[in-house]
Amino acid sequence: MKYSEKVMDHFTNPRNVGEIENADGVGVVGNAKCGDIMKMYLKIDENDVIVDCKFKTFGCGAAIATSSMATELVKGHTVEEALKLTNSAVVEALEGLPPVKVHCSVLAEEAIKTAVADYYNKIGRPVDFEIEKAHDEE
Amino acid sequence: MRASNLKTRERSLNLARFVYADNAATTPVSRQVLDAMLPCFLEDWGNPSSLHEKGRDAKDILDDARARVAAVLGADASEIYFTSGGTESDNWAIRGAAMRLRAKGKNRIVTSKIEHHAVLHTCEALAKEGFEVVYVGVDEDGVVKLDELRASLNDKTAIVSIMYANNEVGTIQPVEEIGNIAHEFGALFHTDAVQAVGQVDIDLSKLPVDMLSLSGHKLHAPKGIGALYIRRGVVIGNLIEGGGQEKRKRGGTENLPYIVGLAKAMEIAKEKLKDLPRVAKMRDKLIEELTKIPYSKLNGHRTKRLPGNANIGFEFIEGESMLLWLDIAGVCASTGSACSSASLDPSHVLLAMGVPHERAHGSLRLSISHDTTDEDIDYIIETLPPIIEKLRNMSPLWEDVVKKEGARV
């Protein structure tokens, strides 16, 4: 199995690792049993723009790289735009993932959406979107 | 590692050091083994079944190699059958015995939960063909539970197949007791000794073993060669039909260069058994130093383990990430994490030992050899802690522990 250079770049030098205190939205997805957990923090301004995004991930190289790429792809965008982020867009931005690792990108998409749902709940906006789960069991 | 390979790799990657600690996966062919093989490609290339001079020469070389393999194991030459490797030997032993003994009304197969997939998948296939398969459990050190083994046996049991030593956690099984229990019930006893040969002194003249599988590429012979020992008097069905080779038990023109390589490698391995305490000492240093890292635990038995195997679980991080960083640092190792395989489940061996999923994902297997040096060990001990710290610092699980217990890496 071989990772693309882009994946290895984001794995060895992950962007936006860390926590955001008083984040506007937090999403934790995956589980330790399956070997990957992603935690996404979003800082959102009054115009619904994601001004900051940080992550912490327990997982394989692909899980770390997809987390890192996902934060880059949503930072500076509105939550509306972030909700349009698909796992395949993350895979594409990483110049591909080995087939067995594609579920990691689904987890990244799930993490962003879960964090946005948390934000919606906090501000009392209805969660009007579906979240695809990377793992069947929790 | 051999110096020439090592230098090239260090130069090309600008590494401080290159350490191959994945000998349980495979080993390089040694120069002495290759030198022994080369004449069989260039001069002694005859078919041992041919009547003419080239064939007779090849037959002499084949007989000699078989006798040498047998001598290393305390067996008779007539009890050694060459195969394509450990997987074929396991398939043949179990399927051959099961098929043969079904005719006598024996339809039970007893194995353990920690076998290699060559054994487990063969048993699963036989279960689909109507055999009753019982998987015996292991204790937390990975030792087969003998009372459970005894309870799973009956007079309808065709074969018991339990590995000599485990490939992941290195635990050595009480083979003699297992064989005796199998025989009490009139069952054949097969052992997959792919990891054990070369790391444990095996004398088949003294062990209650009916069949034993071994593989060349774990002991510096090439991939694609192995053997099955079948004790004289034990009759099993064939797996590969062909032109009457191996006393009509295993078809296919004998792979003479590889067979010669295997014989040479086994003789060298036997000779090097006396150097194993040095290897075990390096293993112990790895275990001692690496388990000083907080939230780490040795997997497998502390003393009843292969001299080259150290398997340690690190909590709150995932194995593949650890391997990638180790690889960048020039260290080749292995993990029981699901993320290094196609499934979401981590190592079946660790789960059978009762290791929780979370910890199984963070397991690291370092398998060293005679070629490993003290400097290699020091390098691993120095390289790993910062990697674990780096990964823990970005792990949400670690974050929780730090908040709760104020833990530090």
List helix spans (H) across chain A. Answer: 5-12, 61-74, 79-83, 87-93, 102-123
CA-to-CA separations, B142 to B151, B344, B370, in angstroms, rounded: 18, 22, 25
Neighbours of A100 (CB within 10 A): 17
Spatial neighbors of B180 by CB under 8 A, at least 6 apart, are B208
Q: Which residues of A are catalytic?
A: 34, 104
Q: Which two tokens stand for residue B30?
A: 């040694």
B344 touches chain A (CB under 8 A): yes
Contacts of B328 in chain A (CB under 8 A): 12
Neighbours of B406 (CB within 10 A): 7
Torsion of CA B8, B11, B15, B18, to 10 degrees: 10
Q: Which residues pair with B297 in a beta bridge?
A: B313
**What is d(CA B174, CA B367) in angstroms, rounded to the nearest whole number?**
21
Beta-carbon separation of A36 and B395 below 8 A = no
Tell me the Cα Rg of chain A.
14
Q: What is the pLDDT of residue A23?
A: 97
Q: What is the pLDDT of residue B339?
A: 66
Contacts of B393 in chain A (CB under 8 A): 17
Residue A12 identity: T
Can you list the residues of chain A whose pLDDT is less than 50? 137-138
Does pLDDT of B131 surpass 80?
A: yes
Please state the rounded mean pLDDT for residues B207-234: 98
Q: What is the pLDDT of residue B96?
A: 98
Does pLDDT of B11 surpass 70?
A: no
**What percent of chain B has pLDDT above 70?**
94
Spatial neighbors of B134 by CB under 8 A, at least 6 apart, are B108, B109, B110, B111, B152
Q: With bands split at pLDDT 50, 70 and 90, how would you rate the model's confidence at B3? A: very low
Beta-carbon separation of B321 and A61 below 8 A = yes
Kind and range of the H or E run holding A26? strand A25-31
Please state the rounded mean pLDDT for residues B293-322: 97
Residue B111, CB half-sphere, CA atoms under 13 Å: how many?
A: 28
B394 touches chain A (CB under 8 A): yes
Q: With bands split at pLDDT 50, 70 and 90, how would you rate the model's confidence at B2? A: very low
Q: What is the pLDDT of residue B8?
A: 55
Please state the rounded mean pLDDT for residues B338-350: 76
pLDDT, tens digit (0-9, with 9 covering 90-100), for A43-69: 999 999 999 999 999 999 999 999 999
Please state the rounded mean pLDDT for residues B112-136: 98
Q: What is the pLDDT of residue B142?
A: 98
Does pLDDT of B13 surpass 70?
A: no
Does pLDDT of B9 surpass 60?
A: no
Please state the rounded mean pLDDT for residues B292-303: 97
B325 to chain A: closest CA residue: A12
Torsion of CA B35, B38, B44, B45, to 10 degrees: 150
Please state the rounded mean pLDDT for residues B226-232: 98
Query: What global pTM score does this model have?
Result: 0.93
Question: How many residue pairs bridge chain A and chain B with CB atoms within 8 Å of each other?
Answer: 73
Q: With bands split at pLDDT 50, 70 and 90, how would you rate the model's confidence at B312? A: very high
Beta-carbon separation of A58 and B395 below 8 A = yes
Q: With bands split at pLDDT 50, 70 and 90, how would you rate the model's confidence at B273? A: very high
pLDDT, tens digit (0-9, with 9 covering 90-100), for B160-198: 999 999 999 999 999 999 999 999 999 999 999 999 999
Which of B316, B320, B397 is facing A60, going by the closest CB pair? Answer: B320
Collapsing DSSP to helix, strand or coil, B262 comes out as helix
B392 touches chain A (CB under 8 A): no
**In Å, how far is A135's CA from the nearest CA of chain B?**
9
- The ipTM (two decimal places) reads 0.94
Q: What is the pLDDT of residue A138?
A: 42
CB-based contact B306:B276 (threshold 8 Å): no
Spatial neighbors of B189 by CB under 8 A, at least 6 apart, are B159, B160, B161, B162, B178, B179, B182, B183, B208, B209, B210, B211
**In Å, how far is A37's CA from the nearest CA of chain B?**
7
Collapsing DSSP to helix, strand or coil, A47 comes out as coil
Beta-carbon separation of A60 and B340 below 8 A = yes
Q: What is the pLDDT of residue B1?
A: 44
